[in-house]
Structure 1
């Protein structure tokens, strides 16, 4: 990954295409998960269009895999010339309240590189879920510690509240299936998805602002776009389901900017409202 990170970006993207296509051909289990997700989330597409979107998603995430090397081993400042930031004033306005900011992100294919690029424009802490592979986790954590102010564990709520109390910006994502604990089932692309309620609890207890943001690889030519949106008003609203529905709707809106650049290989709908319901990802369904 270090070697690939030294290559010109166009060559990295070309190699990422190959990696993505190989994964699309060979990683049958992950392809099945992506196919199910795309079918559920984009029922308006024909089967051929859904098939094409799955293929493009593997390519986008193949490129994203190689971009990890750039995020972990190179200085992202070298990419600021091909990066555009939109709406930074929204984050600055949110910070002016003095209660900290939850930067509401998502698992896009530019996950680590987008996060590294963000730190060229703002100071931020990050919450991370440790990687199962110890070596990958060590490299990832070391790289993030260089880029972010503080790297917090996914369960380190005390650390999170300390950061918010200092009026820090904390990168935070809620768009994965974390099981049945402390969730509500809120629509995500029209499908009930287990969605954690922690975002509402954190905002309620800390008084922080919640600012949605996203980051995407530009189509056609090398470059990246980072989007900050106005802080959520009247959040939390006192109803966990309404709050979760609102958050899922925001993430869905951002995904629709570039549907192929989302991590569709994750079993987002693994947890069903009724435990007796058959799983979406069973090959028999």
Structure 2
């Protein structure tokens, strides 16, 4: 089978060990240490730290964006309800962040035990039918755990996109841990977003599944407006074409950190059997409805701090100014 290797260079160079990068290397060393600390201890410290930092000045901008998003999506929420949700959101960010090193440094067997994979039978059924899968995964804080620890670590071949971090150490680190298990398969890869969807379609046709994050705002010219909770969202209308050209089934997927069990819940819903429908608007509406449904598994772990609604139906309206 064919490997579709990214043209984006994420290899380390001698210059990446110069003093200006030592802070980054120290951070990776801390992630390595944290990966061997029991989850119960990490979670308590992370929750305490998040509560302490919640009112910090450097987080005010992100909190403001989140409150605007929550107000658009859930106009029935009071300010106290938004605040409670975002406090839980910040705890989840801290808990997942301190666990991130596990994906890079711990064994496949360890990672599989850390995952509670709900709905895996949908994946097995698609594989048994020799169907490629588009994992429709909205932005939540545990997305890497789903792709690496739930899907790749179980031997399912997977392709996905990445954006560079403008930090070559992070680029090297993230691209390597995201492919550490998929490299063992003979198909699937990680490629840069600038390369477009062609590598994804080729991978899907080779039965390498695709991990697709569909909920970014790509601007008016590239989008259709579709309902998203109580508002309208500029949405990239490609899910139908991806499913058709890749001959793939679409499985909505969500990742939620469960501090009570100390595990990461990766939740697959039933496939969207009506996609592709042949109608871009209908497919986009069905996709957003599916995204809402998986986010409702745990609204507090969605990335509400993103500028999800930067493009509004009313031209010229800037809600995040």
Tell me if TM exceeds 0.5.
yes
From 136, 139, 143, give the equivalent of 2:170. Answer: 136
Which ranges in structure 2 are unaligned for 5 or more consecutive residues?
Answer: 1-30, 184-188
Query: Secondary structure of the residue that 2:233 maps to in structure 1?
Result: strand
Matched-pair contact (CA < 8 Å) for 2:233–2:309: yes
Q: Residue 195 of structure 1 corresponds to which residue in structure 2?
A: 235
Q: Residue 52 of structure 1 corresponds to which residue in structure 2?
A: 84
From 62, 71, 74, give the equivalent of 1:30. Answer: 62
Q: Deviations over 1:145-175 (max 9, x none)?
A: 2133411222432211221111111111101
CA distance in 1, matches of 2:293, 2:246: 26
Q: Residue 11 of structure 1 corresponds to which residue in structure 2?
A: 41
Q: Deviations over 1:199-256 (max 9, x none)?
A: 2221222222111122211242312222222221121112222211111111111111
Q: Residue 26 of structure 2 corresponds to which residue in structure 1?
A: none
Matched-pair contact (CA < 8 Å) for 1:128–1:154: yes
Q: Does 1:120 align with 2:160?
A: no
Pairwise CA distance, 1:99: 4.8
Pairwise CA distance, 1:187: 1.2
Pairwise CA distance, 1:82: 4.5
Q: Does 1:271 align with 2:301?
A: no
Q: Does 1:70 align with 2:140?
A: no
Which ranges in structure 1 are unaligned for 5 or more consecutive residues?
Answer: none
From 174, 182, 193, give the equivalent of 2:214. Answer: 174
From 262, 281, 284, give the equivalent of 2:320. Answer: 281
Q: Residue 151 of structure 1 corresponds to which residue in structure 2?
A: 190
Distance 1:47-1:37 versus aligned 2 partners, 3 A rule: same
Query: Secondary structure of the residue that 2:54 maps to in structure 1?
Result: helix
The worse-fitting range, judged by mean Cα deviation, of 122-131 and 99-108 is 122-131
Query: Secondary structure of the residue that 1:38 maps to in structure 2?
Result: helix
Pairwise CA distance, 1:78: 1.0
Pairwise CA distance, 1:76: 5.0
From 131, 143, 151, give the equivalent of 1:111. Answer: 143
Distance 1:42-1:262 versus aligned 2 partners, 3 A rule: same
The two structures have a TM-score, normalised by structure 2, of 0.81
Query: Secondary structure of the residue that 1:231 maps to in structure 2?
Result: coil
Matched-pair contact (CA < 8 Å) for 1:5–1:12: no
Query: Secondary structure of the residue that 2:80 maps to in structure 1?
Result: helix
CA distance in 1, matches of 2:138, 2:271: 16
From 66, 72, 85, give the equivalent of 1:40. Answer: 72
From 120, 131, 135, give the equivalent of 1:88. Answer: 120
Matched-pair contact (CA < 8 Å) for 2:137–2:212: yes
Matched-pair contact (CA < 8 Å) for 1:114–1:226: yes
Q: Residue 183 of structure 1 corresponds to which residue in structure 2?
A: 223
The two structures have a TM-score, normalised by structure 1, of 0.90
Matched-pair contact (CA < 8 Å) for 1:17–1:59: yes
From 108, 115, 132, give the equivalent of 1:100. Answer: 132
Matched-pair contact (CA < 8 Å) for 2:252–2:294: no
Matched-pair contact (CA < 8 Å) for 2:137–2:143: no
Q: Does 1:206 align with 2:246?
A: yes
Q: Deviations over 1:1-41 (max 9, x none)?
A: 22222211112212322443355322111111111112222
